[in-house]
Amino acid sequence: MDDRKAIKEIKKGNKEYLNLLAEKYYDDIYRFCCYQTGDPDSSYDLAQETFLRFIRYVDICRCKNLKGYLLTIARNVCYDYFGRETAAHSRLSYLPWEEACPETQTAGTADTFRSRTDLLEEVIREENSRQLVHALMKLPKIQREVIVLHSLYGLKHREIALITGTNSSTVKSRMKQGMDKLKRTLRKEDFYG
């Protein structure tokens, strides 16, 4: 079902459509919160809070891009989280990589029969993912945010500007500065070597 139709049904009182939308977008919202906070446990709570706020304000929702709207709510929830946390900056330096970024996890025991070449390639990919996430977490929050929204969620500069409450020029500037810093960090860590 189309997002707009689901929202109309929710406004009519058909709450089962909330589950459909939550299933559709939960993983994206959770990963976004992980990248914002660096804390996988808190990110579950923040993703839940994002959907609770969506439910609370669904009657006034007039969004054309529900994913963007949910990411905007998630951004605000994460900012509120940092306001509540006295050690927010120290939390950014901690990231249990395997937990925070599910896409970097290794697979289970079914992979034991892979060839050594496949396993070596997987280990290299996993290490590269960890280095990339580590470098990304070193960026200032406003630069990391635009890079994550653009690179991982495929949002356009205009859409990111709406989410972040800025303009497209600011988004482009943050993107360029963040990418430059990311490249420098990765070079220092011999990512390209």
- Within 10 angstroms of residue 129's Cβ, the number of other Cβ atoms is 15
pLDDT band of 24, cuts 50, 70, 90 = very high
Q: Each residue of 25-57: pLDDT tens digit? A: 999 999 999 888 888 889 999 999 999 999 888
Q: Domain 106-193: which topology?
A: Arc Repressor Mutant, subunit A (1.10.10)
The mean of the pLDDT values for the chain is 78
Ordered by start, the domain boundaries in the chain are 1-94, 106-193
User: Does residue 67 register a pLDDT over 70?
Assistant: yes
* Average pLDDT rounded to a whole number, residues 80-84: 79
pLDDT of the residue at 118? 60
d(Cα 66, Cα 60) in Å, to the nearest integer? 13
pLDDT band of 192, cuts 50, 70, 90 = low
User: Does residue 144 register a pLDDT over 70?
Assistant: yes
Phi-psi region of 97 (alpha: psi -120 to 50; beta: other; left: phi over 0): alpha
- Report H helices in the chain: 3-11, 16-37, 40-56, 66-84, 88-93, 97-100, 116-137, 141-147, 157-164, 168-188
d(Cα 164, Cα 146) in Å, to the nearest integer? 8
* Average pLDDT rounded to a whole number, residues 137-150: 91
User: Does residue 22 register a pLDDT over 60?
Assistant: yes
User: Does residue 166 register a pLDDT over 90?
Assistant: yes
pLDDT of the residue at 104? 35
pLDDT of the residue at 119? 55
Domain 1-94 class in CATH: mainly alpha
